[in-house]
Structures are given as C-alpha cells and as structure tokens.
Amino acid sequence: MEYDVVVIGGGPGGYVAAIKASQLGLKTACIEFDEDKSGKVKLGGTCLNVGCIPSKSLLDSSYKFKQISESFDDHGIKVSKPSYDLSKMMQRKDEIVQKLTGGVGHLFKHNKVESIHGKGKLVSANEVEVTNSKGKKQTVKGKNIILAAGSRPINIPSVPWNGSTVVGSSGALEFNETPKKLAIIGAGVIGLELGSVWSRLGSVVDIYEAEKTLLPMLDDDVSRLIEREFRKQNLNIQLGTYVKGSKKSRKGISLDLEIDGKTTSAQYDKVIVAVGRRPFTENLLGKEVQISLDEKGFVPVDEYCRTSLDNVYAVGDIVRGPMLAHKAMEEGIMVAERIAGKKMEVNYDLVPSVIYTHPEIAWVGKTEKDLKQSNIDYKKGSFPFSASGRALAAGDSVGFVKMLADKETDEVLGVQIFGNSASEILQQGLIGMEFSASSEDFGLTMFSHPTVSEALHEAALAVNKQAIHIGN
Ligand code: FAD
Ligand code: NAD
C-alpha cells in the first residue's frame, strides 16, 4: 500500500500531523505501537496516556481536596474533615485518558487516516517496515514520511527505576496508596507538578535539585517568589543537591545525598526520578537511511522540520526545542501544510510554557536575563495579584504579572506570570505578541472588570509608569 504521507508515532506531533495531512487531501497512515491490555492500539502518545492529561487530572483532584481541607473555612464554609478515595481518583483519571485516546481513534476514522498498529522503522527514504506485537512484518510505502516517535524519561545510574519504590513520571501517576515520605529527584516541571499532587494528598515531599537556582530559565525575582511559596506549601526543595546512590531498605529506599558538599542519607517509601526526557529514537532508523542522529539522540532538522532527506520530516520531542505537546502539534501542522505545498511556519520565539502548580507559572518570550545577554534595552512593568480585586475576592492573590517591552519601540518582548490562572492570562499576552503588540496596545485594550486578567493590563500600563491601581 502506498500513501502520500506515512507518520510514525501517534502522539500530539504525529496524530495532529496525520489528521491535518488527510484534511489537506493527502492519503495518510499513522503507525503506533502502544496498545492497551486487550491488545488494541492506544493513540495519543505520552501527552494523553502518561503526561499532560493524567497529570492535570490528578492536579485538579488533589487541588480540590486541598482547597476543601484548608481554604473553605476562610469563606465561612464549614465542612467536616474531608477524606479522599485514591482508587476513585485514579479511576476518574483513567476514564478521562480513555475518553481522549479513544477520541483520537474517532478523529482518525472521521478524517480517513489509516491507523496501522505496530512498530515502525524507516528502512529507506520511502519505506517503513512495520512489526506487529507477534513479530509479523509488513512494508508501508510513503511519498513523504513524518517521524514523531516522542521521548522517554531519563534514568540515572545512582537511582535506577525498579518499578516499585523508584519510578519515573508514569509510575508516579499510578501509586495505589499515598506515600508517607516521597523523594523527587529534579525540581523541574514534573518534579513541581507531581510533588504538588502528592503533597496535597498528604505525602511529606522532599525535592532534590542539582541546580543552585529553582527554574533558572525564569528571572530571579520570579523564581525566588516561587521557591518561597512552594516551601510554604510543604514542598521541601533542596537546591544544589546530588543523589550519589540508593539502596533498598527495610521500609522502602534509602538515598545517599550530597548537600552543599556534605554527605547524608534519608529514607523514603517512594522515589520519583524526574530529571528530564530524551528522544525515543532507538531502532527508528534503519542502517541504510542517510539520517545521522545528534549526540543526544535527536533527529537533526531545519526550521521547517525537514531532515537531511528531502521527503522525511521529524516533529515533536524527537527534535530540538522544548518538549511540549503544543509545540509538537504546531510542528505537525506545519509539516502537513508544507507537504501539501503551503507555506506555514512555526514561530519558535513564542512557544509558551506553563507549570500547572498552584499558583500556576507561565511564561513566553524573553526574560530580563535573555535581554541583558543580547544587549537589548528594555523597560518593565509588573502588577501583584494582591492588588487585584478579583484575586482578593477569590482568596487567591499570591504572585504577579511581569511584562518586558523594548525600550525604544515599546514592543512586548516577554511575559512571566506566577499566579492563579497564569496559563489563561499568558495566552492573552501571547496573542498580542504574535501581532507585535506594544505595551501601550495592551494598555489601551479594555479588560473586563473584575477579572484576574486585569493584572496583565496593569502590568502593561506599569511598563510606561501609567498603572492606576499601584504606585508607579
Ligand atoms: P509522544 O507524545 O511521546 O508520542 C510519540 C508516540 O510515538 C508514542 O505514542 C509512541 O508509542 C509512538 N512511537 C514511538 N516510536 C514508535 C515507532 N517506532 N513506531 C510506532 N510508534 C512509535 N506538555 C505540555 O505541553 N503540557 C503539559 O501539561 C505536559 N505535561 C506533561 C506531563 C508529564 C508527566 C509528561 C511526561 C509530559 C508532559 N508534557 C506536557 C510533554 C508532552 O507530553 C510531550 O511534549 C508530547 O507528548 C510530545 O509529543 P510527541 O508526539 O512528540 O511524542
Ligand atoms: P525538566 O527538564 O523540566 O526538569 C529536570 C530537572 O532535574 C532540572 O531542574 C534539572 O536541573 C534537574 N536534574 C537533572 N539531573 C539531576 C540530578 N542528577 N539530580 C538532581 N536534579 C537533576 O524535566 P522533567 O521535569 O523531567 O520534564 C521532562 C519534560 O516534560 C520537560 O521538557 C517538560 O517540558 C515536559 N513536561 C511539561 C509539562 C508542562 O508543560 N506543564 C509538564 C510535565 C513535563
């Protein structure tokens, strides 16, 4: 069977590329090897099965539990001591995952994407060898190939996963009881999100981070406030810490740690290793294929996601750039459109990032650190949620919005937000930035009152010292 487009991988990069290609009139197949317990193909990749969606389901459930346990009293609402049923919480999460992954199957049918179940390997510029779970092979031909094999968590030799006491992020979404003492290696996105989940549900959480600064990609004033707030939430973040080794102990697992040059050890029921992910490119390319992976295993591509072979593209976590579902999806759409002869581009300068803790952390564009490094003169404005009427009414007023604009042109160059609904507020900043809005443009836009988004409006006004609800 020959297709116009053959996609390897049914995650956000691959399934979106396949749907778009088919919508553009290209005969398309998508190859995916993941399967459920009954042996049926499971689409949706890391994001839908063990990433974005299940983690957000547990973040939302655990946040509701924390709110009802701690903050309803402030509103004058009396509840008797709440408790939770972890197996029901997990079941709810699994049902959401099933609904969404099944939904991708329906979208494939609706858009006439052929779903092929098996492991794909590119064996020539136009041929993919597909091996099913019984070892049977077939060859699928494509005029164009899109590689979208995604990523896997990094394992570290000092604390190897064992599937019970030491797990990666997937295992941490499946605990059948709440660990009493939980260690997380890595205070990155997963460490903070899953640390929040289990801390809200009652675990004592210690997070060990090798870097001396928390979230060093953000400006120091933002990351310092985040660190302070998370410590208040009982996330015990230890910066500049190395885990030297681990041993099974009577009660669980013991970690050997080096903190500020001193060695110590600590006991845990469970350890989550969350030190980043690597591209999943093993056995993806046959020896005959003229594409060389880079030293970290990524598939090298140009700005249009084209590999060294003209008709072979790669998108999502297996290529350079942040490992984010929305970046993978946009790349998938760009590649499908370019195969169909259109001219789409991805604006890599404006890829938003969100960490779904509470408060949320969201940022896009340049930070002060970036601008200083590039010798770009800038001005800045910020607005604290403690001065937002809506945030105060909600009892949720930690954090601030910070906006950076070019000193001369006033074009907005970056936004960082720590606060309630940061993800949604950031999106408004991002839309303006896509149209090269100035801080004055944001200032002249009317924002509904009372909304937490007004903090973005006031931060924009503050850039030119025109804020109304704080001192300039
Ligand atoms: P993947 O989603 O990894 O999909 C690749 C697919 O290809 C998989 O289904 C795999 O089985 C299949 N595959 C691989 N090799 C082959 C082969 N040879 N043949 C056939 N099939 C193959 N990102 C966000 O933007 N927001 C979030 O909130 C977020 N939360 C996350 C939470 C967690 C816990 C984790 C782990 C990740 C999270 N991410 C989030 C990251 C996001 O999941 C990834 O960036 C995204 O899934 C990448 O999409 P992809 O299509 O490149 O790869
Ligand atoms: P990450 O890169 O965000 O964080 C890893 C952290 O581990 C870093 O702070 C790093 O300094 C630290 N680290 C590395 N080695 C260490 C060691 N030996 N000891 C102690 N600390 C160490 O990676 P992650 O949290 O594993 O997430 C993986 C990917 O998944 C990220 O690229 C992220 O973009 C994506 N993701 C995104 C979201 C989201 O968008 N909300 C959520 C989860 C995951």
Structural domain includes residue 160: no
Q: Is the CB of 193 under 6 A from ligand 2?
A: yes
Identify whether residues 9 and 114 lie together within a single domain: yes
Structural domain includes residue 469: no
Lowest mean per-residue pLDDT among 67-81, 315-329, 371-385: 67-81
63: closest CA among 417, 419, 399, 357? 357
Domains in the chain: how many in total?
3
| Beta carbons within 10 angstroms of residue 22's beta carbon | 24
Give pLDDT tens digits for 21-69. Answer: 999 999 999 999 999 989 999 999 999 999 999 999 999 999 999 999 9
Sign of CA dihedral 439, 444, 445, 449: positive
Q: Is the CB of 286 under 6 A from ligand 2?
A: no
Last residue of a domain, one of 286, 320, 349: 349
Tokens representing 179 are 């660990």
Structural domain includes residue 471: no
Identify whether residues 338 and 416 lie together within a single domain: no
| Crossing angle between the packed helical segments 52-70 and 86-110, to the nearest 10 degrees | 140
Structural domain includes residue 470: no
Q: What's the CATH number where 343 sits?
A: 3.50.50.60
Identify whether residues 52 and 95 lie together within a single domain: yes
Identify whether residues 186 and 253 lie together within a single domain: yes
Give pLDDT tens digits for 205-233. Answer: 999 999 999 999 999 999 999 999 999 99
Structural domain includes residue 98: yes
Mean pLDDT across 320-324: 98
Cis preceding linkage at 352, omega within 30: no
- Main-chain phi, psi angles of 137, to 5 degrees: -110, 145
Structural domain includes residue 253: yes
Identify whether residues 343 and 368 lie together within a single domain: no
Last residue of a domain, one of 275, 310, 333: 275
- Going from the C-alpha of 457 to that of each of 182, 264, 400, the distances in angstroms are 40, 48, 12
Ligand 1 center–CA 288 separation, angstroms: 27
Cα-Cα-Cα-Cα dihedral of 212, 363, 190, 302, to 10°? -100
Cα-Cα-Cα-Cα dihedral of 236, 238, 242, 244, to 10°? -40
- Helix (H) / strand (E) element for 18: namely helix 12-23
User: Is 87's pLDDT higher than 90?
Assistant: yes
Q: What's the CATH number where 425 sits?
A: 3.30.390.30
Give pLDDT tens digits for 432-463. Answer: 999 999 999 999 999 999 999 999 999 999 99
Please check whether residue 300 is in contact with residue 307, taking contact to mean a CB–CB distance below 8 angstroms.
yes
- Which SS3 state, helix, strand or coil, does residue 192 take? helix
Give pLDDT tens digits for 107-117. Answer: 999 999 999 99
Mean pLDDT across 345-367: 98
Atom number of ligand 1 nearest to Cα 46 = 2
pTM, full prediction:
0.98
**425 CB burial (10 A radius; 0-12, 13-18, 19+):** buried
Sign of CA dihedral 174, 179, 185, 191: positive
Identify whether residues 122 and 6 lie together within a single domain: yes
Identify whether residues 219 and 267 lie together within a single domain: yes
User: Is 104's pLDDT higher than 80?
Assistant: yes
User: Is 71's pLDDT higher than 90?
Assistant: no
Identify whether residues 52 and 196 lie together within a single domain: no
Ligand 1 center–CA 63 separation, angstroms: 25
Q: Is the CB of 316 under 6 A from ligand 1?
A: yes
The pLDDT assigned to 149 comes to 98
Identify whether residues 287 and 142 lie together within a single domain: yes
Last residue of a domain, one of 275, 305, 332: 275
Identify whether residues 109 and 239 lie together within a single domain: no
Q: Is the CB of 171 under 6 A from ligand 1?
A: no
Structural domain includes residue 237: yes
Give the structural domain span for 200: 166-275
The pLDDT assigned to 144 comes to 98
Ligand nearest to the CA of 172: 1
User: Is 415's pLDDT higher than 80?
Assistant: yes
Structural domain includes residue 438: yes
Identify whether residues 263 and 282 lie together within a single domain: no
Identify whether residues 40 and 139 lie together within a single domain: yes
Q: Hey, which residues are catalytic here?
A: 449
Q: Is the CB of 19 under 6 A from ligand 1?
A: no
The pLDDT assigned to 472 comes to 87
Long-range pairs, 87-94, Cβ under 8 A, ≥24: 87/176, 89/58, 89/61, 89/62, 90/174, 90/176, 92/57, 92/61, 93/54, 93/57, 93/58, 93/61, 93/173, 94/54
User: Is 1's pLDDT higher than 90?
Assistant: no
Ligand 2 center–CA 168 separation, angstroms: 11
